[in-house]
Amino acid sequence: MSTFKRVKKEYEVKVGDTTLTHVVEYEVPQSSDLAEAIQTFGGEAALLDRVNALQERSALQSGNLKFKDAPVGGWNEQNLAEVTAKAINAVRGYTPDSGGPGVKAKAEAYDSFVANAKADLDRFKSMSAEEILAALEALTRK
């Protein structure tokens, strides 16, 4: 018997000039074992086809990410060839575990890093060089 997994998905929607975050909670069907998954997808071959299609989609996405940002100065034949080689290697080397955090997670991590760095900078401005060195030394002893 299928089980359900609760999944929350956020959507950004524009209402006039305001962007709102709208959260929808879905109940996604899940197979409780391999036999049920085989039956759900119409046999072993069909299940394998679906798994391979999902793996292909994810692998190609890892290649697509290499082209996400244009290099400083724009694209040219040399950097296009370099990025193409990186994309080919990313797709060829794809495994489900090789995917890193998504764009949103990376942006959130960067924003957090910048906020922490600014807070640290403000704190260090009030410290003398000797106090900063003593604090660093204390960290290395832990």
Walking along the chain (142 residues) 10 residues at a time, the average pLDDT comes out as: 83 85 89 92 95 92 84 87 90 77 67 78 80 80 66
Reported as a single tens digit per residue, the pLDDT across 25-55 is 999 889 989 999 999 999 999 999 999 999 9
Closest CA to 94 of 42, 128, 123, 55: 55
Q: What is the pTM of this model?
A: 0.52
Q: What confidence score (pLDDT) does residue 16 get? A: 83
Q: What confidence score (pLDDT) does residue 49 get? A: 95
Q: What confidence score (pLDDT) does residue 118 get? A: 79
Contact status, residue 5 vs residue 32, Cβ threshold 8 Å = no
Q: What confidence score (pLDDT) does residue 99 get? A: 57
